[in-house]
Structure 1
């Protein structure tokens, strides 16, 4: 079933996705890093230059470096499924990003496969694996 488990947990996980997206758009590294568990793992198979990163501090450092290439980003995220089982959840989410790069406006759409965990009453990302679904480039301003 694409949505299962207690409503309050599913709402908190939606808010986790929204907090993540808001932090990306504001380029707020501290707020963004706070969405991850201390021992988290972030995998970017479509971006071999980034690969897989382990631990909140290393994930934050990699993100700060990567975001230098995505000025003026607008990032949106929404769930496709949330399956809560106790203090963990399997989540599938989709993203839409718009940013300017090298004189072009880039629109990316992607998909995250996530494992979230509840730590001291707060839902966090334990693991995220991102795949790009579609990329569109157009001259800036179109």
Structure 2
């Protein structure tokens, strides 16, 4: 897989990823949730959640368990086909729980995107941890 398709769509999907990371750092559920299609699917390391409202609910609950979350991502692939696309993103996270314990992980998202109303959204994200550290 490579990065292919119209440059304006490539940039819009990269902005989608950047907005995702920014919303995670800011813990902004409204901004984070706005990046998902209403009928999206999130596979979070084997926990599969259907629909934007359920996805945001799971994320909000998970985020409440952390005192700090640092989230960095690198776009590795985007393949655009009209109003749909696929992609891959690598992540580097630092998580601090409420007791001050740190965990780090390197992960990968396999994504599908959909353009609705002129805006690119996550249609599905499948996350897997590649390496975890305590």
**TM-score higher than 0.5:** yes
Aligned residues: 133
Taking the aligned partners of 1:98 and 1:16, their CA distance within structure 2 comes to 21
Q: Unpaired segments of 5 or more residues in structure 2?
A: none
Which residue matches 1:21? 21
Partner residue in 1 for 2:117: 120
CA offsets per residue over residues 57-116 of structure 1, 9 Å max, x none? 111111111112222111111211000010011010011111212442211110000000
2:37 match: 37
Normalized against structure 1, the TM-score is what?
0.89
What does residue 126 of structure 2 align with?
129
| Structure 1 segments of 4+ aligned residues over 6 angstroms from their partners | none
The 8 Å contact of residues 89 and 117 in structure 1, kept in 2 or not, is answered as yes
Partner of 1:111: 108
In structure 2, what is the Cα distance between the partners aligned to 1:15 and 1:95? 15
Instruction: State yes or no: 1:87 paired with 2:83.
Output: yes
Q: Which of 95, 98, 104 in structure 2 is aligned with 1:99?
A: 95
Distance 2:13 2:112 in 1: 11
Aligned to 2:10: 10
Distance 2:100 2:54 in 1: 30
Residues 14 and 78 of structure 1 are in contact (CA less than 8 Å); yes or no, is this contact kept in structure 2? no
Q: Are 1:61 and 2:51 counterparts?
A: no
Long gaps (5+) in structure 1: 138-142
Task: Confirm or deny: 8 A CA contact 1:95 1:111 kept in the other structure.
Answer: yes
